[in-house]
């Protein structure tokens, strides 16, 4: 049967976006309940807050609070409809008797009220998941938070708890993974502060190579700049083989790995590796924390894309979101390991511009101490 638009009295709908599918589902359910109020018992755990439209939520709330009418009397008297309207009108002035009667007319089948209620709960789950993903992205991007990484992890836990609660409400089915095209990952933070932390990590790790083997919680993917990630691979390769580590040996390893390009001169690389301050563990934690925040933002965007695709069922949203969160769990596990096992850090030094490379130092008057190969 055709489903005519039934705008609220006195409300101009010109220029508004077309109603979504759940709007018509809500109208069908409310029409079924207005026609046959005893079907309220068939709506299950449906709550007013599950409705997408505030007026529909207030109308449903009024139906639940108004005393149920006698079935035979309801067929011949509008007393219960008037009582429901009087209870809802103070909170939703757009509701009218005309709109209530129109809801009854557009309901295709009152016996499907339980199915309509499940549809409304499913759409509410999708919208709620979208809100959780938005909070995760907002927290990861909020540079004003004093403990942003910790707050981001807490938001991820809240999202995981929400998914656990949803899993018991919706049945599984075949084809559980979303087919939504994933959005590109947000750009990494390549501000001067972020790159400076990566440079200081590489320089201090070159000066103290014994700590590199203890920092297995840091991987090349954590770096924002690909060249810095490649240099970290050079350092870890040298320490793994037990080779001597200094700016010259790292430069040689970088040359063999194709890190040196026409944009990266050997002298610039030596200057980068020779300007150290602080401890490698401290700078490594800073780099890993930025990687954690970047991964959280990527996961939030991916879950938001799932919820924006109306083709995804609640089970697909749950499965896809859990898989996305698993990628964040991997990074946060390494972050927890870093903050638990790292040695006490030196005070963070003030950053000063790196001095230009002035060539090798003059000959020493005494032999340097022998550095134990790892």
Instruction: With respect to residue 239, please indicate whether it lies within any of the assigned structural domains.
Output: yes
Q: Which of 73-87, 136-150, 339-353, 357-371 has the lowest mean pLDDT?
A: 357-371
Number of domains in the chain: 3
Instruction: With respect to residue 58, please indicate whether it lies within any of the assigned structural domains.
Output: yes
Instruction: With respect to residue 2, please indicate whether it lies within any of the assigned structural domains.
Output: no
Q: Is 261 or 243 the better-scoring residue by pLDDT?
A: 243
* 308 and 161 share one domain: yes
pLDDT tens figures, 166-180: 988 888 887 788 989
pLDDT given for residue 259 in this prediction: 86
Is residue 41 pLDDT above 60, yes or no? yes
Is residue 66 pLDDT above 80, yes or no? yes
pLDDT tens figures, 275-290: 888 899 999 999 999 9
Instruction: With respect to residue 214, please indicate whether it lies within any of the assigned structural domains.
Output: yes
The confidence band for 342, taking pLDDT boundaries of 50, 70 and 90, is: low
* 25 and 159 share one domain: no
Is residue 11 pLDDT above 50, yes or no? no
* 170 and 297 share one domain: yes
* 231 and 274 share one domain: yes
* 204 and 337 share one domain: no
Q: Which residue has the tokens 């026409």?
A: 262
* 270 and 243 share one domain: yes
pLDDT given for residue 137 in this prediction: 97
Is residue 109 pLDDT above 50, yes or no? yes
* 202 and 164 share one domain: no
Instruction: With respect to residue 84, please indicate whether it lies within any of the assigned structural domains.
Output: yes
Distance CA(104)–CA(31), nearest Å, equals 4
* 138 and 268 share one domain: no
The confidence band for 235, taking pLDDT boundaries of 50, 70 and 90, is: very high
pLDDT tens figures, 69-86: 988 889 889 999 999 999
pLDDT given for residue 5 in this prediction: 54
The stretch 130-154 carries a mean pLDDT of 96
pLDDT given for residue 347 in this prediction: 39
Instruction: With respect to residue 349, please indicate whether it lies within any of the assigned structural domains.
Output: no
* 230 and 273 share one domain: yes
pLDDT given for residue 340 in this prediction: 85
Residue-averaged pLDDT of the chain = 87
Which residue in 115, 41, 55 sits closest to 88, CA to CA?
A: 55
The stretch 59-73 carries a mean pLDDT of 93
Distance CA(278)–CA(215), nearest Å, equals 15
* 199 and 176 share one domain: no
Expressed as residue numbers, the domain containing 74 is: 21-108
Q: Is 266 or 359 the better-scoring residue by pLDDT?
A: 266
pLDDT tens figures, 205-230: 999 999 999 999 999 999 999 999 99
Is residue 6 pLDDT above 70, yes or no? no
* 322 and 236 share one domain: no
Question: Following DSSP, what letter does each residue of 88-157 receive, concatenated?
Answer: HTTT-TT--HHHHHHHHHH-S-GGGHHHHHHHHHHHHHHHHHHHHHHHHHHHHH-TT-TTHHHHHHHHHH
pLDDT given for residue 361 in this prediction: 43
* 92 and 221 share one domain: no
Q: Is 276 or 40 the better-scoring residue by pLDDT?
A: 40
Is residue 143 pLDDT above 60, yes or no? yes
65: number of CA atoms within 13 Å, CB side? Answer: 14
The stretch 57-76 carries a mean pLDDT of 92
pLDDT given for residue 317 in this prediction: 96
Distance CA(91)–CA(103), nearest Å, equals 19
The confidence band for 191, taking pLDDT boundaries of 50, 70 and 90, is: very high
Question: Following DSSP, what letter does each residue of 240-259 receive, concatenated?
Answer: HHT---SHHHHHHHHHHTT-
Instruction: With respect to residue 352, please indicate whether it lies within any of the assigned structural domains.
Output: no
The confidence band for 354, taking pLDDT boundaries of 50, 70 and 90, is: very low
Identify the domain boundary among 108, 140, 164. 108
Instruction: With respect to residue 359, please indicate whether it lies within any of the assigned structural domains.
Output: no
CATH number of the domain within which 212 lies: 1.10.860.10
């Amino acid at each position: 049967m055709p489903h005519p638009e039934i705008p609220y009295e006195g409300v101009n709908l010109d220029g508004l976006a077309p109603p979504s599918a759940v709007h018509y589902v809500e109208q069908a359910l409310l029409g079924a309940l207005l026609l046959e109020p005893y079907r309220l018992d068939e709506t299950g755990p449906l709550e007013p807050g599950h409705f997408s439209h505030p007026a529909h939520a207030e109308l449903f709330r009024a139906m639940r609070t108004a005393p149920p009418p006698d079935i035979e009397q309801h067929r011949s008297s509008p007393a219960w409809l008037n009582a429901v309207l009087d209870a809802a009108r103070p909170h939703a002035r757009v509701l009218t008797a005309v709109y209530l009667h129109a809801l009854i007319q557009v309901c295709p089948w009152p016996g499907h009220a339980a199915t309509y209620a499940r549809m409304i709960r499913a759409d509410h789950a999708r919208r709620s998941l979208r809100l959780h993903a938005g909070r995760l992205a907002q927290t990861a991007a909020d540079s004003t938070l004093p403990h942003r990484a910790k707050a981001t992890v807490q938001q991820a836990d809240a999202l995981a708890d929400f998914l656990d609660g949803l899993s018991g409400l919706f049945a599984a089915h075949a084809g559980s993974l979303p087919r939504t095209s994933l959005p590109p990952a947000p750009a990494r933070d390549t501000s001067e502060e972020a790159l400076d932390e990566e440079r200081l990590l590489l320089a201090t790790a070159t000066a103290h190579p014994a700590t590199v083997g203890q920092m297995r919680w840091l991987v090349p993917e954590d770096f924002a700049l690909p060249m810095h990630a490649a240099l970290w691979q050079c350092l870890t390769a040298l320490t793994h083989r037990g080779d001597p580590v200094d700016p010259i040996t790292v430069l040689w390893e970088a040359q063999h790995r194709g890190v040196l390009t026409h944009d990266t001169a050997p002298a610039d690389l030596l200057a980068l590796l020779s300007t150290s301050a602080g401890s490698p563990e401290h700078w490594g934690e800073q780099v890993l924390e930025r990687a954690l925040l970047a991964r959280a933002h990527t996961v939030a965007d991916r879950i938001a894309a799932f919820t924006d695709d109306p083709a995804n069922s609640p089970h697909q949203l749950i499965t896809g979101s859990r898989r996305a969160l698993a990628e964040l769990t991997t990074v946060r596990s390494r972050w927890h390991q870093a903050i638990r096992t790292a040695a006490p850090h030196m005070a963070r030094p003030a950053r000063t511009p790196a001095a230009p490379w002035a060539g090798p130092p003059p000959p020493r008057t005494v032999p340097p101490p022998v550095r134990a190969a790892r």
